Amino acid sequence: MNQSRLCLVILLFGLLQCGLLGLIAVLPAAENVGGLAHPLFNSMRVGGDGAARFLPVADLAYWFQILVLAQICCMIALGVRPDRRSSGFWVQLGASFGLLAAAWTVMYQAYEGFLVTGQTQMIAGWPYPTAWQVYAIWLSGFGLVALYVVGFKAYVWSDDDETRFRALVKQYPAR
């Protein structure tokens, strides 16, 4: 994919994100979305019905985050020279996106399931949806870290780049 096309894809993702935010903004606010007065402490608010507040915008929020993850991956690709974006690079980047999207999807579904049923299981001291946030969401980014670390010489800064850089430094000595 060439630079211009990749920039257009990033722009398209941004416009879709704006559209989703616009849809969320025009949806009518759920009842008690700002919380309810606490019965004992008047300076405190309690949440109320989480499902009533979240479920009307849940699908829009889900797709917004998927677009964010896709946009991040496209921006990473934009940082790699076009001649170095091999099919192996795209496979690794696609697999990283798949890992990110899978972790987000499972966490989202776990949270939505909790809101609907009001029941959850505990994993390592956390409710199931929170455990996905604490243990899996940040770990899913390691696919991108591995792509950078393992592919650094192939995609970012090769030995030839280093040799050409050193030649330029020698050619223009410090004043």
> Which pLDDT belongs to residue 18?
98
> Which pLDDT belongs to residue 144?
94
Q: Which of 7-16, 63-72, 124-133 has the weakest average pLDDT?
A: 124-133
Tell me what the pLDDT averaged over the chain comes to: 91
> Which pLDDT belongs to residue 78?
93
> Which pLDDT belongs to residue 22?
97
Rounded-to-integer distance, Cα 116 and Cα 105, Å: 16
pLDDT in tens, 159-174: 999 999 999 999 988 7
Rounded-to-integer distance, Cα 86 and Cα 77, Å: 11
pLDDT beyond 90 at 55 = no
Helix (H) or strand (E) holding 146: helix 142-151
Q: What percent of the chain has pLDDT over 70?
A: 99
Query: For residue 93, which of 16, 139, 146 has the smallest C-alpha distance?
Result: 146
b/e map 40-79, b = 16+ CB within 10 Å: eeeeeeeeeeebebeeebeebebebbbbebbbbbbebbee
pLDDT in tens, 65-76: 999 999 999 999
pLDDT beyond 90 at 146 = yes
pLDDT beyond 80 at 175 = no
> Which pLDDT belongs to residue 36?
81
Confidence of residue 115 (pLDDT cuts 50, 70, 90): confident
- DSSP letter at 24 equals H
Give the global pTM. 0.85
- Residue 165, amino acid: F
pLDDT in tens, 13-47: 999 999 999 999 999 887 777 778 888 888 888 87
> Which pLDDT belongs to residue 42?
84
